Amino acid sequence: MEWAIGVDGGGTHTRAAIVDATGVVRGVRMGGRGNFQRIGATGLQDLLGQLLPPLLALAEPNEVSLCLALAGVGRETEQRQIAAMVECGGWTGRVRVESDARAALEGAHAGAPGLIVIAGTGSMVLGRNDRDKMVRAGGWGPLLGDEGSGYSMGLQALRAVTRCLDGSGADTALVAALAVELGLEDWDQLVPEVYGGKIDHGCIAALGPAVSNVADCGDAVALHIVDRAGAALAEQVVAVAQRLEMAESVNLSCIGGVFAEGSLLETALMKAIAPQINGLRLCPAHLPAVLGAVLLAWGRNGDLPSEEQLARLRKSRLQGL
């Protein structure tokens, strides 16, 4: 193995980590959003210009492989475009470009077969079987999908609030809770701030955890939103498992800011899946996505990490990854 840098670029922020050949994390950097569809080539160049040089300085004179795992690059054309851009910028080591979900899957199961369901800013399900076949569902973005995401839950909650205010919907504690989250002194501010762009996609997506918190307190409207989100994600998990012919003994990890340990969303998801998949096992992620990207960088030439290297990577979770 050689030194490797993994970059996990999501819808709201980006993490980058450099790992030495033994599996020890030597440095971590944080940056802004890394969704290629939103920041474009110029924005990505700026982001990498902030993240990579300080990490590379830690590796001198070692050769470093790189995996950029970014939101919005699920297609080979984009992956080739970004790899060429990085190489033209003077990168001399190996470069691999993958989706952020691919890195999350690799990290969650430490390279083993399994499924992940991601519910953060957006949502999707990704799985890989023991024949190395990979299948995804969802990930179509906020206009075409993202069921069960923070954005979807936040938008549904805002719509429930407007119906409550109009008197056409049920009373809900979401009215008070979301006003606090959005910093609104009066709900009359909602229209100008939404359509004026102050309350944007990211702000709405960030409401997902607040909706879950209100549901935890027993609010019927919030509970309905969470249940619908869990059922929608469950449909995608079942579809992926069936296409991979993994109808039994499926390892599943739930990833993203909308999930929390023992959360109602997780409960709703598992309740909807259980009748359709035998032997489903809910497993916490072994490694974060940024270290999943490191595994992908290492695996460029077919290498697999040793148990000792994986053990050292797992210890890195104590560093806040």
What is d(CA 153, CA 180) in angstroms, rounded to the nearest whole number? 17
What is d(CA 81, CA 302) in angstroms, rounded to the nearest whole number? 23
User: Residue 236, CB half-sphere, CA atoms under 13 Å: how many?
Assistant: 29
Give the dihedral sign, CA 105/108/110/113: negative
Angle among Cα 277, 283, 285 to the nearest 5 degrees reads 135
Residue 252's H or E segment, with its range, is strand 251-255
Domain 3-110+286-319, CATH class in plain words: alpha beta
CA 92 to chain centre: 29
pLDDT of residue 130: 87
pLDDT of residue 212: 92
Report the greatest alpha carbon distance in the chain.
Answer: 67
pLDDT of residue 2: 86
pLDDT of residue 319: 58
- Between β-strands 64-70 and 25-31, what pairing exists: parallel, antiparallel or unpaired? unpaired
pLDDT of residue 120: 85
Q: Is there a contact between 270 and 280 (Cβ–Cβ < 8 Å)?
A: yes
The CATH architecture of the domain made up of 123-282 is: 2-Layer Sandwich (3.30)
Segments in the chain below pLDDT 50: none
pLDDT of residue 303: 60
Q: In the chain, where does the domain assigned CATH 3.30.420.40 lie?
A: 3-110+286-319, 123-282
- Residues with Cβ within 8 Å of 225's Cβ and at least 6 positions away in sequence, in order, are 153, 156, 157, 160, 211, 215
pLDDT of residue 76: 87
